[in-house]
Amino acid sequence: MENEQLVYEGSKAEQYQQLMANIFALIDQEPELIANLANISAALKTQFNWLWVGFYLTRDEELVLGPFQGPVACTRIQKGRGVCGTSWERKESIIVPDVNQFPGHIACSSLSKSEIVVPIIRFGEVMGVLDVDSEHLNHFDDTDKKYLEEIVASICM
pLDDT value of residue 156 = 65
Architecture of domain 32-153: 2-Layer Sandwich (3.30)
pLDDT in tens, 64-106: 999 999 999 999 999 999 999 999 999 999 999 999 898 877 7
Residue spans of the domains in the chain: they are 32-153
Convert the pLDDT of each residue in 113-138 to its tens digit.
999 999 999 999 999 999 999 999 99
Res 1 pLDDT > 50: no
Q: State which of 24-28, 68-72, 107-111 shows the largest mean pLDDT.
A: 68-72
Report DSSP letters for 10-59, one per residue: SSHHHHHHHHHHHHHHHHTT---HHHHHHHHHHHHHHHH--SEEEEEEEE
pLDDT at 60 exceeding the cut of 80: yes
Q: Could you give the CA distance from residue 128 to residue 132 in angstroms, rounded to a whole number? A: 13
- pLDDT at position 157, please? 57
pLDDT, mean over the chain: 92
Say yes or no to pLDDT of 112 above 70. yes
User: Count of CB atoms within 10 A of residue 130's CB?
Assistant: 27
Burial class (CB in 10 A: 0-12, 13-18, 19+), 135: middle
